Structure 1
Amino acid sequence: MSDTAPTSVVDQVLAAVSELLPEIAASAAERDRTRSLPRYVLDLLSSAGAFSVTVPTTHGGPGGGAAVAFEVTRLLATADPNVAQIPQSHFVYLRLAELAGSASLLDELFGAVLTGERVANAQSERTGRTVTDQTTRMRLVDGATVVDGRKFYCTGSLTADWIAVLGRDEDDVEQVGFVRAGTSGLTIVDDWTGMGQRTTASGTITFEGVRVDPSHVVPRQRAVTGPHGYGAFAQGLHAAIDVGIARGALTEAAAFVRSSTRPWFEADVERAEQDPLLVQRFGELEVDVRAAESALVVAGAAVDAIASAPPSRVDDVAREASLQVAAAKVLGDRAALAVTSALFELGSTRSSDDGLNLHRHWRNARTHTLHDPVRWKLQHLGRWSVAGTPPPRGPQF
């Protein structure tokens, strides 16, 4: 009998994702240069179980929690953060369905995801005073929920099987409808023009009289306002992307220095990686990245701890999860921006060659870190530290 413990399905998925990373990374620069969507890569990941890793065991899935979702996302971001951003929305809306969805929705949605199908978001709008304002409307007509509206920055929508659309019902209550891609009245336009994260399959979606089964409509506030860590889960996935960007960029910077960078003459060394000042700078950045990676692990464990917390402590545990995720997001943001900028300092003039496309790391970091500004994460951390004020519950926390 072997003394080796059996490998869980979650471990198998993480191993499969890790094995795909070199292939994903090898084509990332070219996809960015030509803005080619990663359809083939996403299909590989679906086949590997990456998109179904959080499906609950009660519905035949591996039952991976926040820590697993964060790690899958981080791993993918080390290779291509564009690919990593696509499961972010997918995992978030699966979590919403799990917390607040009907039994029939869970059966159909989780069953579809287990076969490799993917969910994308239709959440943001351009016309409101803030990003939280919604003009998309949902109304009951002849036994169906009818959706009318227009959404932007719909990450993953161009390659998705399901669209999770956020809108307001006739009582002005926020609802999320899970709609099959290809449903009549649903139009997706490939019009994302960001300088970074160019291949996240983000398009504009128009809903014109789109009919949704009412059982596929989920009251969003049930998940957002409860002590479930829903916002912390969503934000932790964003932090994982930034942390992965930082590690991926630092790894490529080191490889470039070893292969292409000439030593500065004053260092009096044979190779650039022998320059003590350059080594010092790599050491500083390594600390930044390791700190962000460690914070992400702590944050994932904190979010997962909510599910097992006794009722008397669940609010405290959920609060701590939000604070830990906020810290991870700040550290991830800082590490991603620091490393992707320092890459050129470390690689010297040769690294700025446009043909190398090393600037994609900075463009990706600068674009993605615009999500949910960390200055507000610092505010909430500071308010807790100074006055014991708990962070708010919402999709951004």
Structure 2
Amino acid sequence: MTVVTAERIATADQAVRIAAELAEVFAAGAAERDLLRRLPHEELDQLSASGLLAITVPAEFGGADLPPSVVAEVVRILAAADPNIAQVPHSHFVYLNLLRLAGTRAQREDLFGKVLAGARIANAQSERGGATVAEIATVLRPVDDSGDGGRGRVGGTVRGRGQVGIAGAELDGTKAQRFVLEGTKFYCTGSLYADWLAVLARLDDPQGISGLEPGEYVAFVPASEPGIRIVDDWDALGQRTTGSGTVEFASVALVREQLVARSGAVRAPTGYGAFAQLLHAAIDTGIARGALRAAAEFVRTHSRPWFEAEVEHAADDPLVVQRFGELAVAVAAAEATLIVAGTAVDAAVRPRTIADDPVGTLEGDGAQASIAAATAKILADRAANEVSAAIFEVAGTRSAAAEHRLDHFWRNARTHTLHDPVRWKYQHLGRAVLHNRPPPLHGVI
């Protein structure tokens, strides 16, 4: 992996401007990369070097501490140019948010510092084989450290980025400090490009050796750690260059300081799930805008008018004009709702504690953020799929020629919008309206 020196971004305006500049560069080769499945290593190094991947690092650790609404706008801009590139850092931002919410100060200092220097985090979360996607078979097993005082540590070298290892406080010799990680993950977006993997695992400790609470933990592991095998086997019809393949973990050694309990973020009204969903909505909204732009350009420059329209140019066909108006409304609605959702998520994740919130608005803000993000996701899903399919409807037979590569918008939209079903978003919205029931706290709404 290429060594990068990351710039420091200080303001929202700066972040949006840099995103727009990069989007212009990324758009030029997006269709060809998709067709040939040319992995965007160089482009992602540019993204890292720009400083955009560090914009959520809290100010106390040297970052810009920009809110979710700005991250969503950056992602939307990038997705309109190349939704593959825009999806790669989704998990990066989500797991930085987990660190902010549930990590120790030592963990935050260490990993936030690495991200400020250009490091990238990818997810290793989803699995196959369980009855539902919520079942986690990957396990963390404690190692009995009674023989060495519990002072085992691991380290490694991230490809081209120098020495790694999460710094921590002095280890407690009365509890297990070392663990092994075992399991296989799928749909690990960004794993081919990552310096660190955020691995969701279940603690397997029936004897209580670890001293940790039972439940799910996220292990932050260097991607080059011995025992990790990253497999380039992602073969979906769309989002072909996101690096969303398989990652295998065979007796991977960890220390306690690499573990963050997931419950602290997802079992409280922190806005954790709403933030993740906001970024998914931003990707789909960006695809919709990119598809609309491509359709308009093709109709202006390539399409022939239908003879019954009795016009010289396809762009003057009143039925084509009408359809573009309908598509423009769908895209504008998705973009406007994304802004509203961004504002709601900003309110839910702003630094506060329960002690500062005696009237309970913290919980209310979390629920409203999830509802707003769900609404944005529904409209983004609808716009991305409708507009990307309508390219061929409005542009005519010529648009189906492989040389124009316009199908990548639909393939990307169809693939990414499968991430989580919008039919359940409608359920949660309906229950909120009819029964004043807040959405569940499970991290994906």
**TM-score normalised by structure 1 residue count:** 0.96
**Which of 44, 47, 52 is the equivalent residue of 2:49?**
47
- Give the residue type in structure 2 aligned to 1:37: L
State the partner residue of 1:256.
298
| Contact map agreement 1:76 1:84 (CA 8 A) in 2 | yes
State the partner residue of 2:169.
none
State the partner residue of 2:398.
350
Classify the secondary structure of the residue corresponding to 1:164. strand
Shift of 1:211: 1.3
State the partner residue of 1:80.
82
Structure 2's unaligned 5+ residue stretches are 1-8, 146-176, 206-213
- Give the residue type in structure 1 aligned to 2:187: Y
Task: Say whether 1:373 aligns with 2:415.
Answer: no
Task: Say whether 1:147 aligns with 2:149.
Answer: no
Task: Say whether 1:331 aligns with 2:333.
Answer: no
- Give the residue type in structure 2 aligned to 1:385: V
| Contact map agreement 2:399 2:406 (CA 8 A) in 1 | yes
- Give the residue type in structure 2 aligned to 1:47: A
Shift of 1:8: 4.5
**Structure-to-structure mapping, 1:208-357, within 5 angstroms:** 208-306=250-348, 307=350, 311=357, 312=359, 313-357=361-405
Classify the secondary structure of the residue corresponding to 1:27. helix
CA 1:176–1:25 in structure 2 vs 1: closer, same or farther (change >3 Å)? Answer: same
**Which of 210, 233, 238 is the equivalent residue of 1:196?**
238
Q: What is the alpha-carbon distance in structure 1 between the residues aligned to residue 232 and residue 404 of structure 2?
A: 26
Classify the secondary structure of the residue corresponding to 1:240. helix
CA 1:117–1:8 in structure 2 vs 1: closer, same or farther (change >3 Å)? Answer: closer
| Contact map agreement 2:315 2:321 (CA 8 A) in 1 | yes
Q: What is the alpha-carbon distance in structure 2 between the residues aligned to residue 244 and residue 357 of structure 1?
A: 18
- Give the residue type in structure 2 aligned to 1:97: L
Residue-by-residue CA offset, 1:179-223 (whole Å, 9 max, x unaligned): 011001111010001000000011211111111221120000110
Q: What is the alpha-carbon distance in structure 1 between the residues aligned to residue 425 and residue 395 of structure 2?
A: 32
Q: What is the alpha-carbon distance in structure 2 between the residues aligned to residue 328 and residue 347 of structure 1?
A: 28
| Contact map agreement 2:11 2:66 (CA 8 A) in 1 | no
Residue-by-residue CA offset, 1:244-296 (whole Å, 9 max, x unaligned): 00000000100011110011111111111111111110011111100100111
> Identity of paired residues, percent?
54
Classify the secondary structure of the residue corresponding to 1:127. coil
Residue-by-residue CA offset, 1:55-82 (whole Å, 9 max, x unaligned): 1111100101110111111111100111
**Which of 110, 113, 123 is the equivalent residue of 2:112?**
110
Shift of 1:13: 2.1
Residue-by-residue CA offset, 1:230-255 (whole Å, 9 max, x unaligned): 00111111111100000000001000
| Contact map agreement 2:238 2:414 (CA 8 A) in 1 | yes
**Which of 176, 192, 195 is the equivalent residue of 1:158?**
192
State the partner residue of 1:58.
60
**Which of 4, 20, 25 is the equivalent residue of 2:27?**
25
**Which of 119, 122, 125 is the equivalent residue of 2:124?**
122
How many residue pairs get matched?
A: 391
**TM-score normalised by structure 2 residue count:** 0.86
Higher helix share: 1
Task: Say whether 1:169 aligns with 2:208.
Answer: no
Classify the secondary structure of the residue corresponding to 1:109. helix
